[in-house]
Amino acid sequence: MGALRMVILGRQGSGKGTQSVRVAERFGCVHISTGDVLRAAVAEGTDLGRQAQEVMDAGMLVGDDIMNGIVAQRIAKDDISDDGVLLDGFPRTADQAEALEGMLADLGQELTVAINLDVPVEEVTKRMMDRGRSDDTEEAIARRLALYEEQTAPLLDWFSQRDLLVTVDGLGDEQAVFTRLEEAIHSRLP
């Protein structure tokens, strides 16, 4: 079984963070959550953290150049060449998707699959209100969902045109969703 290189797309609150941890463990690849990278930078008070905090609290997107730089640096490390990677929260814009394609090409690597973890807007809104994270104000949630439709949803077509997209139903209990993900990934692994 070759190393898994995948991206997971889905609205905030779709469960992609939780599922990504499990998928990465199951397939032995490195999990990169760009949201976690940014939250760690905020907690450490680095320059990046100071720049990112306001943007994140407002429910907006951190700039493409910053995000592409973070991922390009991380993805070039040996552990990812050897074991593969699951990108969670990246790409979120067309610019990021193009950049990712370039980074992988430079490394002589290709994506295995792009999973769309599909959960309807009404359900993710309810889940996010329930989780009560500090950046989960009602206004920020609405803005992030609108941004997702505007900036990230078009990537579904982008990946579909490259024959990489598989949509997985994200409704139901965690184990049921995980089993669907496992099957979807197995069907694509060389």
- Catalytic residue positions, numbered: 16, 92, 131, 133, 144
- Closest to 167 measured CA to CA, from 112, 111, 92, 117: 117
Judged by CB under 6 A, which stretch of 60-68, 77-85, 112-120, 174-182 contacts ligand AMP? 60-68
Total chain residues near ligand AMP (CB under 6 A): 16
Burial call 136-167: b when 16+ CB within 10 Å, e when fewer: beeebbeebbebbeebbeebeebbeeeebbbe
State the minimum distance, in angstroms, from the CB of residue 69 to ligand AMP. Answer: 11
- Does position 34 bind ligand AMP by CB under 6 A? yes
* Residue closer to ligand AMP (CB basis): 134 or 187: 134
* Residue closer to ligand AMP (CB basis): 6 or 67: 67
* Residue closer to ligand AMP (CB basis): 158 or 189: 158
User: Rounded CA gap, 150 and 184, in Å?
Assistant: 26
The SS3 assignment for 159 reads: helix
- Closest to 166 measured CA to CA, from 190, 152, 151, 186: 186
- Does position 145 bind ligand AMP by CB under 6 A? no
Contact between 56 and 38 (Cβ < 8 Å) = yes
State the minimum distance, in angstroms, from the CB of residue 144 to ligand AMP. Answer: 5
Helix intervals (H) in the chain: 16-27, 34-44, 47-57, 64-75, 78-83, 94-106, 121-131, 138-147, 154-161, 174-186
* Residue closer to ligand AMP (CB basis): 74 or 92: 92
- Closest to 91 measured CA to CA, from 40, 168, 136, 154: 154
- Does position 55 bind ligand AMP by CB under 6 A? yes
Residue type, 120: P
Options 27, 90, 148, 159; binder of ligand AMP; rule CB under 6 A: 90
Options 6, 7, 11, 12; binder of ligand AMP; rule CB under 6 A: 12
Options 4, 24, 67, 141; binder of ligand AMP; rule CB under 6 A: 67
* Residue closer to ligand AMP (CB basis): 58 or 189: 58
Residues that bind ligand AMP (CB under 6 A): 12, 34-35, 38, 55-56, 59-62, 67, 89-90, 92, 96, 144
